[in-house]
């Protein structure tokens, strides 16, 4: 894959952003759970999706000091 490909540019930007986060693995895990949660139907629609999405956003806003 050439370094100028859109996939490579997205990956480089993501890793640059993740390197500035305090908990990059925890953010990635939370986002993965969020995606799985959206795909799996549940009893109370959208309640857990909203909470998990907000937690992912909150964790992604924590930067290294």
CA quadruple 32, 55, 59, 5: dihedral sign: positive
Predicted confidence at residue 2, as pLDDT, reads 57
Structure confidence at residue 41 as a pLDDT band (50, 70, 90): confident
User: What's residue 60's pLDDT?
Assistant: 82
Q: Is 28 exposed, middle or buried (0-12, 13-18, 19+ CB in 10 A)?
A: middle
Is pLDDT of 55 > 60?
A: yes
Q: How far apart are CA 4 and CA 2, in angstroms?
A: 5
Average pLDDT over residues 5-11: 76
The structural domains of the chain, with segments of one domain joined by +, span 6-61
């Amino acid at each position: 894959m050439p370094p100028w490909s859109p996939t490579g540019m997205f990956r480089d930007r993501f890793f640059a952003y993740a390197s500035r986060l305090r908990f990059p693995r925890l953010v990635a895990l939370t986002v993965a759970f969020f995606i799985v949660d959206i795909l799996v139907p549940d009893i109370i629609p959208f309640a857990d999706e909203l909470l998990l999405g907000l937690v992912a956003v909150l964790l992604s806003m924590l930067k290294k000091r």
